[in-house]
Amino acid sequence: MMMGMTNASSPAVFVLLGFSARPSLEPILFILVSIFYVVSIVGNSIIILVSCMDVRLHTPMYFFLTNLSFLDLSFITSIVPQLLVNLWGPQKTISYGGCVAQFYVSHWLGATECLLLAVMAYDRYAAICRPLHYTAIMQPQVCVGLAFTSWFGGLITSIVGSTFTMLLPLCGKNRIDHFLCEMPLILQLACVDTSLNELEMYLASFVVVVLPLSLILVSYGHIARAVFKIKSVEVRRKAFNTCSSHVAVVSLFYGSIIFMYLQPAKSNSHEKGKFIALFYTVVTPMLNPLIYTLRNKDVKRALRHILLGNCCGFSGK
């Protein structure tokens, strides 16, 4: 009965208002977003290629980094093409099916990234705080299991939260004051009480945002304590360098997503929220590969060998 009511009240299309209130800004955003998208595709593809081709990078750290790059590729692709269409012309609509697909996929990938970043922090903790047992702790099957748990956990979170949200009757409302279909935005369109949905959203945010972030902070607390006990300045610097890229990525991602998703669902800060969302959906996936390539000697060396045609990982040289 509820499904029938929902289908009857679901609009054929949604109108994504995006940045239409500032039409002079749209051409500039179109150019910037296009550049960011291309850089993100190229950068993350390079990370995946280098990590797969150079056997010296066949380690847990780069296995998880490859997962992160693939995730970023998928995440930005679930958002940007539709955003570019809306920025290019007066047509601001997205089909109901397209909105639902974007809703489920972006929710899945966003939750997965929260979990995966926590897994990467645990990997760094094991490498620095338990170096003698690192190989035994981060065995290949354990790494695959942790990566699978991140992806599957994100998927379950998306299926539960997104399905409860899409079952809400919208009573024909179809104007979304944003450039993407997201849970708080759909809740604003519902013509019934959404208290239970908001409670579910906050509980899910606690599980996939607060808990992983807490694990990351605890891991780096132990890492900092272990590093400061190291007497060798060179060894201490090397230990910090292995973590600095991940810390930068975590700061960018969580800094923006906490602001976005832990605020009330019916907040009036739409304009600020749009630019924050633009940052974490477009800019962050572009910055991640740049951070890892610019701050990581192993990646730069492997990339240099590949570009020079010296595929050391396969030739054994």
* Per-residue confidence (pLDDT) for residue 151, from 0 to 100: 97
CB 121 within 8 A of CB 216: yes
CA pair distance 172, 193, nearest whole angstrom = 16
CB 14 within 8 A of CB 101: no
Per-residue pLDDT of the chain (317 residues; tens, 9 = 90+): 334 434 445 677 888 888 877 888 889 999 999 999 999 999 999 889 888 888 888 899 999 999 999 999 999 999 999 899 888 877 788 888 888 899 899 999 999 999 999 999 999 999 989 888 999 999 999 999 999 999 999 999 999 988 888 888 877 778 888 888 887 778 888 888 888 888 888 888 888 888 999 999 999 999 988 888 887 777 788 777 778 888 888 888 888 777 765 555 454 556 677 888 888 889 888 888 888 776 677 777 777 777 776 544 444 44
* Per-residue confidence (pLDDT) for residue 100, from 0 to 100: 87
* Per-residue confidence (pLDDT) for residue 57, from 0 to 100: 83
* Per-residue confidence (pLDDT) for residue 5, from 0 to 100: 39
Phi, psi for residue 16 in degrees, rounded to 5? -95, 100
Domains along the sequence of the chain with CATH: 2-315 (1.20.1070.10)
